[in-house]
Structure 1
Amino acid sequence: MPQKDPCQKQACAIQKCLQANNYIESKCQAVIEELRKCCARYPKGRSLVCSGFEKEENQTLKSPAK
């Protein structure tokens, strides 16, 4: 049986928040930050829902400073 994703709860909370706020991301920053904190607690690849943040971080690191 596959292990439960450790950050699934936070990911679901983001979806609920976004739906409740007409997908205005700025209204869900606190919930998004909770997912970031959860993702930071686990090694890369441990949480499938964190893969988007990992990709975002990689792109930020590769982008030249403005």
Structure 2
Amino acid sequence: MMNLSATHAVSVNPTTGEVVSSLPWASEREVDAAIALAAAGYRQWRQTPLADRADALRRIGAALRARVKRWPR
């Protein structure tokens, strides 16, 4: 569950009510910069050969599986 405030997004565990994290809202400038970076990354990614993209996704999947036991339930 996500609670909203004027300055931060607050993530709350719905079972316990405990605050899990609190993150400041981004400014318009920060959002614009993030969108520009994502667009640049996409332009580079789409030029990457399919086999290389598939390999990168497999490595990401392996890294996530290696860390799954550390994730809270």
TM-score past 0.5 threshold:
no
Relative contact order: is structure 1 or structure 2 higher (C-alpha 8 Å, sep ≥ 6)?
1
Q: Which structure's CA Rg is the greater one?
A: 2
What TM-score do you get using the length of structure 1 for normalisation?
Answer: 0.30
What TM-score do you get using the length of structure 2 for normalisation?
Answer: 0.28
Greater share of helix: 1
